[in-house]
Amino acid sequence: MLICDEYLTPASLDEAFAAMEKHRGHYRVVAGATDTLPWARQGRAGDVHIRALIDVAKIPELNEKKTGDRRVRFGAATPIQRFLDDPALGRAMPCMPRCAVWFADDQIRSLATIGGNIINASPAADGTPCLIAHEATVELAARRGGKTARRKMPLESFITGPNKTALEDGELLVAIECDALPGYGGSFEKVGHRRSLVISLVCLAALVKLDSTGRKIEDVRLAIAGIGPLPLRLAEVEKFLRGGPIGMERLERAAAMPVELVASRTRQEYRRDVVRGFMMRGLINAARRAGADAAALAPELEAAYA
Ligand SMILES: Cc1cc2nc3c(=O)[nH]c(=O)nc-3n(C[C@H](O)[C@H](O)[C@H](O)COP(=O)(O)OP(=O)(O)OC[C@H]3O[C@@H](n4cnc5c(N)ncnc54)[C@H](O)[C@@H]3O)c2cc1C
């Protein structure tokens, strides 16, 4: 069981930093607590005692949202459910609703935050590949010398290893900013040990923008998690696909490219097959949602990877 002496709910960043200073070395930050509670139970016979739990979920700045033409900004305490409920977020981030719909269940989704998903940094966290495909940056804040100091860095370099990030002591994740990609078709593919309430073994985010003919790929973004210690942007595959036609042969060549990146120690052969299949299915689904010409995406090709 997780036991705390104080459960604090700061109403601002200033209040949160004051609580963190007061309980330095003896606190833990929580948002939805959907990773924290299982962590407190895992493999432990006894209780986990933390002096202060600092719940940042209600801090207004961590719940803000701004959707511009080029970039989207949303607070770290944005619950995963909001990517399903908020049409402006869904339009700007076309694979995020597809990720959210497969994320846990209704209850967990309404508590689990995107910030907690990033900071937990599970090698197969569902939120991170979508955000990496959107070239996300994270905004961090800390109280230094009596003032709030902020810094930004790309999400890809913020996650440094399994369950490891570049978050410094006393720092909070405040917001995430990423490319707005309306008009792209989005897809999110995920597989785990069972069909529902599943933590991913492998997951892939795909975003495709087609040219005006609906037959050529103008832009493509691909990111994958669960094949190694870190989520990866598939830049080489993107380069290969960008500007070319969508067709069976090209997609199959693209799908084979990331197979050699599988570095996980367990279930390697299985993960390689999954990667190849996900690449095909992800690209086809994203292209179809981007309005691909039906003749370019042959019906038999679509059916094979439906
Ligand atoms: C039944 C179940 C199903 C799940 N299914 C999925 C799934 O399908 N896909 C998936 O990816 N995950 C899944 N998870 C894992 C979990 O729900 C997610 O990782 C979730 O996004 C974590 O967010 P949270 O707000 O609950 O994190 P919390 O548990 O509150 O926090 C997680 C970590 O982040 C830190 N933290 C949180 N917010 C901040 C902040 N603003 N600044 C600094 N540090 C912060 C905390 O200190 C803690 O270390 C599941 C969990 C459960 C229990």
pLDDT digits (tens, 9 = 90+) for 285-302: 999 999 988 777 766 666
Residues, the chain = 306
For residues 131 and 37, state if they share a domain. Answer: no
For residues 72 and 173, state if they share a domain. Answer: yes
CATH of the domain at 18: 3.30.43
For residues 299 and 222, state if they share a domain. Answer: yes
Tell me, in angstroms, the distance from the centre of ligand 1 to residue 118's CA.
8
Tokens describing residue 102: 């497969």
Count up the domains in the chain and report the number.
3
CATH of the domain at 228: 3.30.390.50
End of a domain among 135, 158, 179?
A: 179
Selected residue with higher pLDDT from 225 and 305:
225
Question: Residue 131 in contact with residue 118, Cβ under 8 Å?
Answer: yes
Mean predicted lDDT score pLDDT of the chain: 92
CATH of the domain at 170: 3.30.465.10
Q: E strands along the chain, which residues? A: 2-8, 27-30, 48-55, 65-67, 71-75, 137-144, 147-154, 159-161, 164-165, 171-179, 185-192, 200-210, 217-225, 232-233
For residues 134 and 175, state if they share a domain. Answer: yes
Tokens 């008009």 sit on residue: 183
For residues 283 and 265, state if they share a domain. Answer: yes
pTM above 0.85, yes or no: yes
Question: Residue 253 in contact with residue 232, Cβ under 8 Å?
Answer: no
The answer on pLDDT for 306 being more than 80 is: no
Q: Average pLDDT for residues 5-34, to the nearest whole number?
A: 97
Question: In terms of residue numbers, what domain contains 105?
Answer: 60-179
Tell me which DSSP letter residue 42 carries: T
For residues 16 and 96, state if they share a domain. Answer: no
End of a domain among 34, 55, 76?
A: 55
For residues 165 and 192, state if they share a domain. Answer: no
Residues with CB under 6 A from ligand 1: 28-36, 38, 56, 62, 76, 103-104, 108, 111-113, 115-117, 119-120, 125-127, 172-173, 197, 199
For residues 273 and 223, state if they share a domain. Answer: yes
Tell me, in angstroms, the distance from the centre of ligand 1 to residue 102's CA.
15
End of a domain among 148, 179, 210?
A: 179
Residue 250: pLDDT band with limits 50, 70, 90: very high
Q: What percent of the chain has pLDDT over 90?
A: 76
Q: Average pLDDT for residues 20-39, to the nearest whole number?
A: 95
Residue 209: pLDDT band with limits 50, 70, 90: very high
| Residue nearest to ligand 1 atom 52, measured at CA | 34
Q: Average pLDDT for residues 51-75, to the nearest whole number?
A: 97
Question: Residue 72 in contact with residue 180, Cβ under 8 Å?
Answer: yes
Residue 73: pLDDT band with limits 50, 70, 90: very high
Query: Which atom of ligand 1 sits closest to the CA of residue 198?
Result: 8
Q: Average pLDDT for residues 270-278, to the nearest whole number?
A: 89
For residues 109 and 175, state if they share a domain. Answer: yes
For residues 141 and 210, state if they share a domain. Answer: no
Among 19-33, 58-72, 186-200, 262-276, the minimum mean pLDDT is found in 186-200
CA 198 and chain centroid, separation = 15
For residues 234 and 247, state if they share a domain. Answer: yes
pLDDT tens track for 31-51 = 999 999 888 887 666 788 999
For residues 42 and 93, state if they share a domain. Answer: no
- Burial code of 14-32, b = ≥16 C-beta within 10 A, e = fewer? eebbebbeebeeebbbbbb
Q: What percent of the chain has pLDDT over 70?
A: 93
pLDDT tens track for 160-204 = 999 999 999 999 999 999 999 999 999 999 887 655 556 667 899
Which residues are paired to 296 by β-bridges?
none
